[in-house]
Structure 1
Amino acid sequence: MTQRFTPPEVKGWCPGLFAPMQAKDGWLVRVRPPLGRITAAQAVFLAQIAEREGNGLICLTNRASLQLRGFSHNNALRFPELAVLAGLGMANPEHEKRLALLVSPLAGCDRSCAPDTLECAAALRMALCHADTLSVLPDKFGFAVDGGGLFTVGLLKADITLQANGAGLWSVVCGNQKSKAAPIQTIVELAVKLAQAFTAIPEGKRPARYPATGKMLFQAIHQPYYPAEVTSAAVPDPALLAGSIGSALYALNAPLGILTSTMLRSCAHHARNGDGILRLTPWHSIILHGMPYAPHVADMVDTSTNPILRVSACMGNAGCAQAEGATQALAKTLAHSLGAGESLHVSGCSKGCAHPAKASWTVVADQNGYGLIHNGTTSGPVMRFFPDDTAVEDYFIGTKPQERIMNGRV
């Protein structure tokens, strides 16, 4: 069967601290923790707010942000003031809007990560706060500071990335181009200039951000540029997503990126027995450091062999009005039928919000059932169609990976 899904209408906006968004299960609010980390006290605060004012569900996003779900409109509007008081956001909405910033999660506790990663991130964060012209950037335009280490250079994905080059030098990577290596301050200034150049391009003439934008922006500010090595890897090795990942370093993975308030509170309890910090990753893991034991949190993954680590799924029709079918339970069921090294994405519609990249198997819901795509994204050609989620489960359970591939060729 060769067909593609019709893209759904793009509605709403990318939520932020001062821009809550209405979903099917209520309003959701987003927190971008400074440098991708929160204290144990802040985690307990968020757990309490999620229970008291939301539905108790918290999403750990692929931008290392936290989204609290199920708020009333009034509670969502009141949330920013509480978050700012807790140190989880900037009081100035314009400053907050510009701080879509990913940072290497293990900076400061991984000896193989560039030792000046946090210094670089703090310098960029400060520069973005003072760059008033960047308030017109698109909501999803993001930055990253990539110091490498256990999470190797290239895993963090952003529109503009500052990458460590060793010996205290950094480069700016934009699309498939990069700058020459230079000290932190020079590189931070260059990153801001590239972002400002992006804002100068009329919205209708902006290219797809990858890979063409890099060349265009470097040329616009008259800076030399060179080909960048761009990794195709979307996620790290599963061995870094759950369990012991280094000296006194432990990763707890939220299955499909969904936490409950109880799970977050338990993570905070363990963090207090270490350095007191919860480090958030774009791969649905929370990393704790310094405990004298391996932490265990009910319903979180703490072994790297669990197949759910190779699975992604959106909220589905339980939480999104555009989703045509259920996703979460289906994804968890199908996980156990994956072959070695295979990945799976289950999407409620063809937007693919939870995983825009390719997966070994992608299951996409529409109003008539579920389509199965092999080695593609949600917009890829459908090789097989099923009337409901039960038929998808029966097919996966009853066939081996190679049989599925062959069936799709019939």
Structure 2
Amino acid sequence: MTQRFTPPEVKGWCPGLFAPMQAKDGWLVRVRPAFGRITAAQAIFLAQIAEREGNGLICLTNRASLQLRGFSHANALHFPELAVLAGLGMANPEYEKRLALLVSPLAGCDPSCAPDTLECATALRAALCDANSLSTLPDKFGFAVDGGGLFTVGLLKADITLQTNGVGLWSVVCGNQKSKPASVQVAVELAVKLAQAFVALPKGKRPVRYPQTGQMLFQAINQLGCPAENMGIAAPDPAMLAGKIGPALYALNAPLGILTSAMLRSCANHARNGDGILRLTPWHSIILHGMPCTPHVADMVDTGTNPILRVSACMGNAGCAQAEGATQALAKKLAHSLGAGKSLHVSGCSKGCAHPAKASWTVVAAQNGYGLICNGTASGPVMRFFPDDRAVEDYFIGTKPQERIMNGRV
């Protein structure tokens, strides 16, 4: 059978608070909480809005944002006003657009995370608000403040990252280049200059996707960088994504990044037994602090040994017009046959939005079936093609794919 993949449309932008996006299941809206944190009250508010004005589904994105689905166009346009009143966004759309900022999720409650992480993040956030010239940055261009700790330095992925040096100093990482350690103020100023240099580049390619861009930007501002380290850390240990991860620290993982309003409401109720804060991570987990005992939320993963923690999947054709097939149910079925240490990505098209990086196994939907890619991304070379999802399931469950490859029976 000839495989037929429809080239996906590359929109080149992400939805934002003031830029809702139309999807197959309605309009989706996104909130980007400051430092990836929301209060229990804000979580209850979002759960109510998701039920009342959307379809009740909430996505926890790989940028530690929350995406509410199934809105009407009118409700999507009204949502920013409600979100700003709830403290979930900036009233100035230009500020909001520039604040694509990831911060170490455990800053302030993990003793091994750099103690000035939140100070650094606050300074960078203020500088981005003041930098009007950065309003023309691409929507996908992002920043990060990485204080290390239980979530190791190098895990946060962004175009420009302020990375702790462990001694009160910070280096700026941009693509394949890294600056010398400096104070918070100097590091923040350098980060803004690099971003401004990117704006000035004709058709600049984002450093997180094209690391060589980093060297170009350092040269553009006459700064001497050195080769960046810690670029090979792809994902955290699954044991850090669910269950007890530290003293009074508990992670609840949303399988494949999908929450229902009921799940979010339950997380909020548990948070009220601790410090009242829900810390969002880029790895689909919500972390609660100060709990007297382990929280349990129906349908959320609360043990680090669950294989679903090594699986990613987009919404598939249930929520995306570009997807060629179903993904969520298939990914959950295949998770049970995933070998130790292996990762799986099930994508509705070759863009691979849910997991742009490589996975041990990537299953990609096509017009007339599914393709299988080994140790690659969703756009990689297809090793084997299946006529439907049942055939994919039989292949994984019948015999481990790695054994078939080793035996020359792919």
Q: Tell me, which stretches of 5 or more residues in structure 2 are unaligned?
A: none
Moved more, 4-13 or 334-343: 4-13
Give per-residue Cα distances to partners, 1:11-52, cap 9 Å, x unaligned: 373100000000000000000000110000000000000000
Query: Following TM superposition, by how much is the alpha carbon of 1:394 offset from its aligned partner in structure 2, in angstroms?
Result: 1.0
Amino acid in structure 1 at the alignment position of 2:87: G
Please give the residue correspondences for 1:215-254 in structure 2 after superposition, counting only pairs within 5 Å.
Answer: 215-254=215-254
Specify the SS of the correspondent of 2:264.
Answer: helix
Give the distance between the partners of 1:403 and 1:202, measured in 2 at CA.
48
TM-score, length-normalised on structure 1?
0.97
What does residue 289 of structure 2 align with? 289
| Structure 1 unaligned regions, length at least 5 | none
Equivalent residue letter for 1:63: R
Shift of 1:402: 3.0
RMSD between superposed Cα atoms in Å: 1.7
User: For residues 207 and 154 of structure 1, what CA distance do their matches in structure 2 show?
Assistant: 15
TM (norm. structure 2) is 0.97
Return the alpha-carbon distance in structure 2 between the equivalents of residues 408 and 245 of structure 1.
41
Distance, in Å, in 2 between the alignment partners of 1:408 and 1:95 is 55
CA distance in 2, matches of 1:196, 1:70: 36
Contact 2:159-2:208 within 8 A present in 1 as well: no
3-state SS in 1 of match to 2:165: strand
Superposition pairs of residues 2-401 of structure 1, within 5 angstroms = 5=5, 7-11=7-11, 13-203=13-203, 209-401=209-401
- Whether the 8 Å contact between 2:6 and 2:366 is mirrored in structure 1 is no
- What is the CA deviation profile of residues 316-357 of structure 1, one whole-angstrom value per residue up to 9, with x for unaligned ones? 000000000000000000000011111100000000000001
Retained in 2: the 8 A contact 1:3–1:382? no
d(CA) in 2 for partners of 1:348 and 1:205? 25
Letter paired with 1:293: C
**Cα distance per residue 1:221-258 (max 9 Å; x no partner):** 01111111133232100110000000000000000000
- Which one-letter code corresponds to 2:53 in the other structure? E
- Cα 1:5/1:311, change in 2 over 3 Å: same
Q: Which letter does structure 2 place at the counterpart of 1:277?
A: I
Letter in 2 for 1:75: N
Give the whole-Å Cα distance in 2 for the aligned partners of 1:305 and 1:208.
30
The aligned amino acid for 2:149 is G
Shift of the 27–33 alpha-carbon distance from structure 1 to 2, 3 Å rule, reads same
Q: Alpha-carbon deviations, 1:139-176, whole Å to 9, x = none? A: 00000000000000000000000000022100000001
Q: Which amino acid aligns with 2:31?
A: V
Amino acid corresponding to residue 256 of structure 1 in structure 2: L
Q: Does the C-alpha gap of structure 1 residues 261 and 208 become closer, same or farther in structure 2, counting only changes over 3 Å?
A: closer
Given residue 305 of structure 1, which amino acid in structure 2 is its aligned partner? T
Question: Structure 1 residues 206 and 294 mapped into 2: Cα distance closer, same or farther (>3 Å)?
Answer: closer
CA distance in 2, matches of 1:101, 1:296: 29
Aligned-partner Cα distance in 1 for 2:38–2:2: 46
Q: Deviations over 1:101-120 (max 9, x none)?
A: 00000000000000000000
Q: Distance in 2 between matches of 1:133 and 1:369?
A: 46
How far apart, CA to CA, are the structure 1 residues paired with 2:12 and 2:402? 40
Counterpart AA for 2:340: A
Q: Percent identity?
A: 88
Change (3 A) 1:164 1:2: farther
8 Å Cα contact 2:205-2:213 kept in structure 1: no
Query: Post-superposition shift, 1:202?
Result: 1.1
- Distance change >3 Å, CA 349–CA 408, structure 1 → 2: farther
Per the alignment, do residues 205 and 317 of structure 1 end up closer, same or farther by CA in structure 2, a change over 3 Å counting?
A: closer
Alpha-carbon distance between aligned partners in 2 of 1:218 and 1:272, rounded to the nearest angstrom: 45
User: Following TM superposition, where does structure 1 have runs of at least 4 consecutive aligned residues deviating by more than 6 angstroms?
Assistant: 1-4, 204-208
Displacement of 1:383 in angstroms is: 1.0
The alignment partner of 2:41 has SS state of helix
SS in structure 2 opposite 1:48?
A: helix
Closer/same/farther in 2, CA of residues 299 and 207 from structure 1, 3 Å limit:
closer
Displacement after TM superposition at 1:207 (Å): 7.7
Secondary structure of 1:273's counterpart equals coil
Conserved 8 A contact 2:28-2:76: yes
